[in-house]
């Protein structure tokens, strides 16, 4: 809830430009309601600067790709040991609905407590095909905070678009990401068009490496204040769309705060924090895509990639 912070970010971006010139939806799941431990953690200057595990995991990921005829991108950062695992970490993937985490973060960062209690009104013409929460509240509207929760925990597309509109459009979301140091992610379209995921189209894409850095900054760092981090973490802990993805790939008893995404060309993603008992979280990003327009999303591929990643980090 930092209105002044947003102003500073926008001014900084504008100043940077001047200086340069001069020179849906997915199925219910469980999860606890307790937020992840969130002491601020500094962002690493580069993932490759941390100790890495690669060879055996790379072979396993390559085998998963062959078996599924898909492209797989994985980054896992153990914030306790500092160890990082990356497979195709610098490749671009369509992010689909995983970007709702950062839409929500931008709204929280820009909003005061009073702003979050503001009721947003909309009509039936604003409803998209996947609107499990907003469709029930057309007559009353929803508060900004309720829209944040609906967009993240239920992946409500209408809620996400209303939040993006409140921010000022996709360009404003991208500008917010630039302000936290993300020079990679492209934010171009609204739901559901951003899920087209056409091979070779860089619109609405990022890299696993960049999303891992952004997640660490937003959920464990100081980009958001403590209250906003707790709001976002609780929404991710309550995610209803990821029973078969990251949650299916971690050992019993681990806490998962995640956000899934599904698109055309077999896109199925999941990003978040997985926390083993008694340890600091692992930042985990799993992104998948194919070149086949008829390909369906594979929860099993994301779950197996998760199992491989956390297994490699535990060795």
301: tokens are 């591929």
What would the mean pLDDT of 108-116 be, rounded to a whole number?
98
CB atoms within 10 A of CB 314: 13
Q: Which residue carries 């973060």 as its tokens?
A: 105
Please, what is the Cα angle at 255 between 251 and 256, to 5 degrees? 95
Q: Evaluate if residue 121 carries a pLDDT over 60.
A: yes
pTM over the 0.75 mark = yes
Q: Mean pLDDT score of the chain, rounded to an integer?
A: 89
Q: Which CATH architecture has domain 47-314?
A: 3-Layer(aba) Sandwich (3.40)
List residues with catalytic annotation. 97, 191
Residue 214 contacts residue 103 (beta carbons within 8 Å) = no
- pLDDT tens-place string over residues 252-284: 999 999 999 999 999 999 999 999 999 999 999
- pLDDT tens-place string over residues 168-196: 999 999 999 999 999 999 999 999 999 99
In DSSP terms, 87 is beta-bridged to: 74
Residue 96 contacts residue 118 (beta carbons within 8 Å) = no
Identify the pLDDT of residue 56: 83
In DSSP terms, 206 is beta-bridged to: 93
Backbone φ and ψ for 227, nearest 5 degrees, come out as -65, -40
Q: Evaluate if residue 292 carries a pLDDT over 90.
A: yes
Q: Evaluate if residue 82 carries a pLDDT over 80.
A: yes
What's the Cα-to-Cα distance from 184 to each of 136, 153, 292, rounded to whole Å? Answer: 36, 25, 25
The sign one gets for the Cα dihedral 93, 94, 99, 102 is positive
22: tokens are 């001069």
């Amino acid at each position: 809830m930092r209105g002044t912070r947003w102003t500073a970010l926008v001014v900084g971006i504008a100043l940077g430009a001047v200086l340069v010139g001069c020179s849906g939806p997915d199925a219910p799941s469980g999860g606890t309601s307790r937020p992840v431990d969130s002491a601020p953690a500094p962002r690493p200057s580069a993932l490759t600067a941390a100790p890495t595990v690669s060879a055996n995991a790379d072979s396993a990921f390559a085998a998963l790709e062959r078996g599924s005829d898909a492209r797989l991108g994985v980054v896992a950062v153990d914030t306790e040991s500092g160890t990082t695992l990356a497979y195709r970490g610098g490749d671009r993937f369509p992010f689909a609905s995983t970007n709702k985490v950062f839409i929500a973060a931008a709204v929280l960062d820009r909003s005061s407590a009073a702003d979050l209690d503001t009721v947003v009104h909309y009509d039936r013409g604003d409803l998209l095909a996947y609107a499990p929460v907003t469709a029930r509240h057309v007559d009353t509207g929803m508060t900004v905070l309720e829209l944040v929760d609906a967009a993240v925990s239920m992946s409500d597309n209408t809620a996400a678009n209303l939040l993006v509109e409140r921010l000022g459009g996709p360009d404003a979301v991208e500008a917010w990401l630039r302000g936290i140091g993300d020079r990679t992610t492209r934010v171009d379209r609204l739901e559901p068009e951003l899920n087209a995921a056409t091979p070779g189209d860089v619109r609405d894409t990022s890299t696993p490496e960049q999303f891992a850095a952004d997640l660490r900054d937003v959920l464990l760092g100081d980009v958001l204040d403590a209250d906003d981090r707790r709001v976002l973490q609780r929404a991710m802990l309550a995610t209803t769309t990821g029973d078969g993805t990251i949650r299916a790939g971690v050992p019993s008893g681990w806490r998962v705060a995640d956000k899934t995404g599904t698109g055309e060309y077999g896109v199925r993603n999941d990003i978040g924090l997985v926390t083993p008992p008694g340890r600091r979280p692992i930042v985990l990003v799993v992104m998948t895509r194919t070149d086949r327009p008829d390909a369906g999303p594979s929860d099993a591929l994301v779950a197996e990639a998760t199992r491989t990643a956390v297994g490699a980090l535990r060795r």
